[in-house]
Structure 1
Amino acid sequence: MIRLTLIFIAFLVSLLAVFRAPTYHLWLLAIGVAEFAWVFITITFVLLVAGFISQKYQLAGTLLGIITLFILLSPIFRAYIMARALPAALDTALGENDRDSSATPFSLLTMLTDYPQQPVPTKTLTYRKDDLPSSTLDFYPAQQAGLRPCVVVIHGGSWSSGDSKQLPELNNYLAQAGYHVASVNYRLAPAYLCPTPIEDVYAAMDYLREHAAALHIDTSNFVLLGRSAGAQIALLAAYRQKVPGLKGVIDFYGPADMVWGYSLPANPLVMDSRKVLENYLGGTYSAVPANYAASSPIEFADRQAMPTLIIHGENDPLVAYEHSIRLNKKLTDNGTKHYFLSLPWATHGFDYNLKGPGGQLSTYAVDRFLRNITQ
C-alpha cells in the first residue's frame, strides 16, 4: 500500500509537466518536474522496481508507475523532436543558413552531466551618480579579445523585487561565448513607476557607451535581454524609440500587452497580477488607462521594431502564454524579423536550469539569434 501511495503521489506530481500549476508552490515544483525530470524519473523507476519485492497492489502500482514515467519523460521526448526542427526553423526566421556543427539544440548527455560552470569574474559598476542600490550593474567581460558585442540583461521580479544577481548561468555562458554581459539593476515599484525602469536601462546603456573603450565594447552591437517583468522593460526600451547601436531584443516569458493582461488576471493562488500591475502603473486600468497602453510593448511593435526573439512556455501560470502569441502575431503582421520559441511543457522560469530540456533549447536559440544580429 505504501508503494502504491508513493506512486500515486509521483503521478500527481508528474501532471505538472502537462498542466499549468494551480498554486505558487506547485509552480516552483513544476520547474523541477520539467527541467530536472531525471530526478523524478529515477524516483519513479525505483518505486517500480520495488514492485518485484512487494506483491500487494503490485499490478495497480506498476501500471500507474509506467504511466507516470511516460508523463515525466514527455518533456525530454518533446525537446528531442523540437531540437531536430529548430535549426531549420531558425534559418528560415533569421534568413540565414548558419549551422554550427559543434552545437546541438538538445543533448541527453548534457542534461545528465553535472559539472560546474566556470564563473566569469565580474565587476560591479555604478551607472548613475546617486546613492541608490538600483544604480549599479554587474559586468561580465567577454572571454574573447577585441571589441565585443554587449548583452544588457534585465531581471524579473514583478517590477518590485529581484536584482542583477538573478540567474547568472546564462550571463556566464554568454561571456564565455564572447559577449560582454551587463546585468542591470533598476528602480523598483511601487516607489517608482513605469517608465522609470526603461529610463534606467537607457542610462545604463549610455554609461556603457561612454566607457566602451575601457570595457572593450563594440557600441554598434547592443542587445537587450529580459525575463518576465524585465522582458516588458526590455521590449519597451527596444521598441518605443531608436537606441544607438541596439541590434535586437530577447524576451523570456514577458508581458507584452498590459491592457489585455489586466483584463484577464493570473490565478490568485499563484499571483495577484492585477495588484502587481497597479503597483507598477499607478492604479487600476479604469483609473489610468493611458499608463497601461503606454507600457504595452505590443503597442510599439510596428514595422520599425527591433529583431526579436520570443521564448515562452505554454504552462506559464504567472505571465500568460497569450502575451507571446499576441506579440508574435503583431511582429508577423508587420514583417519584423523575429522567432517565437514555444515550449509546450515549460513553465515560468524554466531557464533556471540551462541543462534542462527548455534550458538547452532556449540557450541554443539565444546563441543563434545573437550571432545573427551582431554579425
Structure 2
Amino acid sequence: MLRFLLILLLLLISLLAVFPAPEYHLWILAVIVTGFPYIFIGICIVFLMIQTKSKYQKAGNLTAIVALILFLSPVFRAYLVAVKLPENLEAVFGKKTVNLPDHPLKTPFSFLAMFSGIGGKAVSPQTFTYKTYPEISLQIDFYAVKTASKQPCVVVVHGGSWSGGDDKQLPGLNSYLARRGYQVASIDYRLAPEYKSTQALEDVQNAITYLKANAEKLQIDTNNFVLLGRSAGAQLALLAAYTFKNNGIKGVVDFYGPADMVFGYFVPSNPMVLDSHKVMEAYLGATYQQAKNRYKASSPILHVNAQSVPTLMIHGKNDVLVSYQHSVRLKQKLDSLGVKNYLLTLPWATHGCDYNLNGPGGQLSTYTVERFLHVVTSK
C-alpha cells in the first residue's frame, strides 16, 4: 500500500512536466521536474523494480509507467525542438550559426549531456564597484577571458521581480560564455521598492559606461556589447537595448522577460503563484491607472523600431510568472518591422527553464545563445 501511495504521489508530481504549476511552491517543484527529469525518471525505475505481493502491485506498476512517461516528456520534446533548431537559426541568421569552431555542444540537446555536463571548470569572477551612491555601492562580477586582444562583452542583468537577486545569480552560463571567448559582466542594480524603474535602467547605463571606461584593462571590444537578462532583468536588458544610443550594443537576449508592461498589468499572473500587480506597482511606483505613461515608457515593445538590434527570446509555454505571450507579442512586433529575431519556444518549460545548464531547457538555450552571440558580434 505504501509503495502505491508513493507512486501515486510521483504521478501527481509528474503532471508538472506537462501542465502549468497552480501555486508558487509547485512552480519551484516544476523547475526541478523539468530541469532535472533524470532524477524522477530514476525514481520511477526503482519503484518498477520493487516487487511486492500487495494487491496494489499491478496498479502501482501501471501508475509508475504513466509517471515515467510524463517525466520523460521534457526529454522527448527537447529532441523535437533540437531537430529543427539549427535549420531555424540558419534561416534567420545565416550559415554562421551552424558550425562554430571547437564547439563543445555538437547537437542542441543530448540526453547523455544531462549527466556529463555541457560546461567545464567554473570561472572565478573578479568583483568591481562600478557606481557608488551615499547609501549603496553597485558591483559587477566580471568573468574574464585570458586574451591578448579585446573581445565582445555580454552584460548580464539578473532577475528577481526587480526587488531581489544580485550579480551572482545563475553563474553557470557566465562561466560557459567566458570559456567560449566572451568577456561577461554580471551587474547589480538598485532594487524596488526603494528604487524605481528609471533608476534601475540608469544603473544598466552606468555599468556600460564603467565597462567602456575600463575597456583597456578588461580587454573589452566596446563596439560589441550584447545585453542578456532574465525575467525582470530581461525587461531592463530589452529596454536598454532599444533605447540606449551609440553604446555599441549589437544584440539582446531575453530570457522569459515581460516585454509589455501594460499587457502584463492587465493579464496578471495567477496570484497563488505571484502577485504581479504588487510587483509591478512596487517597481513603477503606482498602479497603471495612476501612471499610464510610466508603464508605457517601461514597455520594451513600445520602443521597438526598424533600427532595433537583433533579439533572441527564450520562453517556456508553461511559464506561470511571465506569460509566454510577452515573447510572442514582441516577436510579432519585431517581425512587422523587419528586425532580425528568434523565439526559442520550449513547450514543456516554466519560468527559470535554464536553471540547470545541463537540463533540456539549459542545453537548448545555451546552444542558441552562443550561436546568436557569434552572429551579432561578428566574432
Structure 2 length-normalised TM: 0.96
1:135 aligns with 2:135: no
C-alpha distance in structure 1 between counterparts of 2:363 and 2:246, whole Å: 30
User: 1:145, CA displacement in angstroms?
Assistant: 3.7
C-alpha distance in structure 2 between counterparts of 1:117 and 1:96, whole Å: 27
C-alpha distance in structure 1 between counterparts of 2:123 and 2:55, whole Å: 54
Partner of 2:354, secondary structure, is helix
C-alpha distance in structure 2 between counterparts of 1:281 and 1:118, whole Å: 40
C-alpha distance in structure 1 between counterparts of 2:331 and 2:117, whole Å: 35
Shift of the 136–368 alpha-carbon distance from structure 1 to 2, 3 Å rule, reads same
1:330 aligns with 2:333: yes
Per-residue CA shift, 1:168-199, capped at 9, x if unaligned? 00000010000001101001111111121111
User: 1:243, CA displacement in angstroms?
Assistant: 3.7
Residue 222 of structure 1 aligns with which residue?
A: 225
* Matched residue type, 1:308: T
C-alpha distance in structure 2 between counterparts of 1:374 and 1:250, whole Å: 13
* Matched residue type, 1:26: L
Per-residue CA shift, 1:255-312, capped at 9, x if unaligned? 0010010011111111110000001111111011111000000001121111000000
Q: Is the 8 A contact 1:134 1:187 kept in 2?
A: no
Q: Is the 8 A contact 2:89 2:97 kept in 1?
A: no
Give unpaired runs (5+ residues) of structure 2: none
Partner of 1:319, secondary structure, is coil
Per-residue CA shift, 1:343-364, capped at 9, x if unaligned? 0011111211000000000000
* Identical aligned residues as a percent: 55
The counterpart of 1:119, out of the listed 106, 122, 129, is 122
Q: Is the 8 A contact 1:111 1:356 kept in 2?
A: yes
Residue 66 of structure 1 aligns with which residue?
A: 65
Query: Aligned runs of 1:1-375 on 2, under 5 Å?
Result: 1-50=1-50, 52-100=51-99, 102=103, 103-113=106-116, 117-375=120-378
Q: Is the 8 A contact 1:134 1:186 kept in 2?
A: no
Number of positions where the alignment pairs a residue of Structure 1 with one of Structure 2: 374
User: 1:116, CA displacement in angstroms?
Assistant: 7.8
C-alpha distance in structure 2 between counterparts of 1:362 and 1:240, whole Å: 25
Q: Which deviates more, 120-129 or 148-157?
A: 120-129
Q: Which deviates more, 54-63 or 33-42?
A: 54-63
Q: Is the 8 A contact 1:134 1:185 kept in 2?
A: no
Per-residue CA shift, 1:31-50, capped at 9, x if unaligned? 11111001001111111121
C-alpha distance in structure 2 between counterparts of 1:144 and 1:70, whole Å: 47
User: 1:218, CA displacement in angstroms?
Assistant: 0.7
Shift of the 116–246 alpha-carbon distance from structure 1 to 2, 3 Å rule, reads closer
C-alpha distance in structure 1 between counterparts of 2:99 and 2:83, whole Å: 14
Partner of 2:47, secondary structure, is helix
Structure 1 length-normalised TM: 0.97
Per-residue CA shift, 1:138-162, capped at 9, x if unaligned? 1110244421100000000110111
Give unpaired runs (5+ residues) of structure 1: none
Q: Is the 8 A contact 1:309 1:340 kept in 2?
A: yes
